[in-house]
Structure 1
């Protein structure tokens, strides 16, 4: 059983994510923090007939510290959402400082907790989190991740739709790279079970996985971005971490992480030329136990991989530079 803290719990991702976490038997206590409404969200959730007590905190009266005290896992969807016409790079100006400040408090209050970053642009905000924890000498590479599970969920969903497969969960498609646009690489050639796609189907699915967020932003006409699906994906990743931390074997998820320091990760980082990359990861009680490389990708995917790496390098450097300024 684990205490989970959600930072940004009153937002459009934070509320449905907190609802899902309240239903989890793996969560023994739920702590919510936001600059507005978090106590109200907590009271609302406490009317649900599941055991985990929920407490909500605002910034006043040292609320962030109280929300983090005793946390085993902290998940961060805090920050502004993307609006029509806004790129993930434009999100950076506001969300970079949000992540730095929240993670600084994590370093002081619950330095051994798992830290899961949802706040976009994840390609840059995860390096900010890592560099912040390093500055405080509490960084554990096995416990700090960027959540890219939505890309994996989209890959199986869109492929199932294209092939008229009734259950998307019957497909497992690795998605590697980063978490924005061309940095996202669904490895359709590695689908399990294997799928047969035309080039047009392959390209259409790849594009939707890479730019599915734009589809939602446009459809919501400025009222939000990918929120409920991101909450679902975030919950799935949290559940996987908690299951592994509870001793369940065979837990594997893709996530964006700092590869050096993870068994198998340094080799992957050197082969790719980047230290941050989303790959399949095996999880255990202590966190990431092994980073897994994906071999024998198609020629088409090799081309997309080169594009992803080139763009990621700039994203990563932007996050590191922010912490150096």
Structure 2
């Protein structure tokens, strides 16, 4: 990979979004073979150049690329559990949008807490915790499924043209 040292020197925060995008028929685990190597290389450079920086991982599959980053940092002797983050803000943005759409609100007026990972069933929107909004049992089932499968929905809608690149940028900015 390229030498990221000039961009990393003196950095307090590093956001890693590098990697290949999903294409139709792929899930996040299909990205692992390529993206894990990219994240490993970049985190090795972070460990050498700015070992005290906070690191946000956006590269999919986030659930596993964060684990790769942690192991690289441990091997380099600079791991700090309080400075490594998996950025799943995109799931919150999608959840807010879908709830707003369903309930006739503006996405900025809705705040859906989302816990878990960033892959399918590991994404858990806490719909019972959305202030000022109530849901039927069927709405909870349908919304949860839509939120969990939103990444696939985007990839299929773009028909091979990539994934949610602009939305990922928005999620990184919000993080």
1:178 and 2:91 equivalent? no
RMSD: 1.1
Q: Which has the larger radius of gyration?
A: 1
Q: 2:164, 2:138 → 1: CA distance?
A: 25
Partner of 2:128: 189
Query: What is the Cα deviation at residue 145 of structure 1?
Result: 0.2
Q: Tell me the TM-score normalized by structure 1.
A: 0.52
Q: Tell me the TM-score normalized by structure 2.
A: 0.96
Q: 1:83, 1:96 → 2: CA distance?
A: 17
- Superposed CA deviations along residues 219-261 of structure 1, whole A, max 9, x for unmatched, are 1110111111111011100xxxxxxxxxxxxxxxxxxxxxxxx
> More strand per residue: 1 or 2?
1
Partner of 1:162: 102
1:146 and 2:90 equivalent? no
Partner of 2:50: 110
Segments of 5+ residues of structure 2 without an aligned counterpart are: none
Query: What is the Cα deviation at residue 200 of structure 1?
Result: 2.3
Query: What is the Cα deviation at residue 72 of structure 1?
Result: 1.4
SS at match of 1:176: strand
Query: What is the Cα deviation at residue 160 of structure 1?
Result: 0.8
Q: 2:170, 2:58 → 1: CA distance?
A: 12
Q: Is the 8 A contact 2:53 2:83 kept in 1?
A: yes
1:236 and 2:158 equivalent? no
Detail structure 1 runs of 4+ shifted over 2 Å in the superposition: none
Segments of 5+ residues of structure 1 without an aligned counterpart are: 1-34, 36-58, 238-325
Q: Is the 8 A contact 2:43 2:72 kept in 1?
A: yes
Q: 1:224, 1:189 → 2: CA distance?
A: 33
Q: 1:203, 1:232 → 2: CA distance?
A: 27
- Superposed CA deviations along residues 170-219 of structure 1, whole A, max 9, x for unmatched, are 2221101110101100010111x141112222222111211111111111
Bigger relative contact order, structure 1 or 2, given CA contacts below 8 A and separation 6+? 2
Q: 1:203, 1:226 → 2: CA distance?
A: 24
Q: 2:36, 2:111 → 1: CA distance?
A: 32
1:208 and 2:154 equivalent? no
Query: What is the Cα deviation at residue 147 of structure 1?
Result: 0.3
Partner of 1:41: none
Instruction: Please show how residues 65-144 of structure 1 align to structure 2 within 5 Å.
Output: 65-144=5-84
Partner of 1:221: 159
> More helix per residue: 1 or 2?
2
